[in-house]
Amino acid sequence: MSGATRTYEMDSEIRGYHVYGSSWKPKIGDLLLTDREASNEDDKLAVAVYQELSIDKKKIVRHLLVEFSRIAAYFIENGGEISGKVTGKRKHSKGPQEGMAIPCKLCWTSSNKRHVKKLDALIAAERIKIFRRYGLNV
């Protein structure tokens, strides 16, 4: 990315314990990398979360929330980067997609100021749709 970068931060979760099981034991402070997972047949917009094993080796340990995968995929495809940090212990997640989740803080970074400004509105709109779909208070 060239020029000044802009960052949008949000509290979130990563999921996929049922798929990846205990192949990764997350610790608070662990750094997270993400990238599109175009080969995912179940979700063409999937964004995988990676654990860096060495400079040139990484493995998928989870996925970003499916609720935000469309936005995240678009953001990455347009030059943005999403990284994160584990902020809590594995827990049972309540809401639309229950299951095991790992709390994290995601940092969406881009040199395109417009993309970062749009993120807040897009993510807020997606959360409202999710809440309404499941009869939760907005």
Q: For residue 57, what pLDDT is reported? A: 80
Distance (Å) of CA 8 to CA 63, 81, 84, 109? 19, 11, 11, 7
Q: What is the mean pLDDT of the chain?
A: 80
Q: For residue 1, what pLDDT is reported? A: 42
Per residue in 5-63, pLDDT tens? Answer: 888 888 888 887 656 666 778 899 999 999 998 888 888 899 999 887 777 888 888 88
Domains belonging to the chain, first-starting first, are 6-133 (3.30.70.2330)
* Phi, psi at 37, each rounded to 5°: -120, 75
Q: Where are the beta strands (DSSP E) in the chain?
A: 6-15, 31-36, 47-54, 57-64, 81-86, 91-93, 99-110
Q: Which of 60, 15, 54 is nearest to 37 (CA)?
A: 60
Q: Rounded to two decimals, what is the model's pTM?
A: 0.79
Q: For residue 17, what pLDDT is reported? A: 62
* Cβ proximity of 66 and 43 under 8 Å: yes
Q: For residue 84, what pLDDT is reported? A: 92
Buried b (16+ CB within 10 A) or exposed e, 105-132: ebebbbebeebbeebeeebeeeeeebee
* Phi, psi at 73, each rounded to 5°: -60, -45
Residue showing tokens 């997350």: 26
Other Cβ atoms closer than 10 A to 59: 12
The mean pLDDT value for 78-106 works out to 82
The mean pLDDT value for 85-108 works out to 81
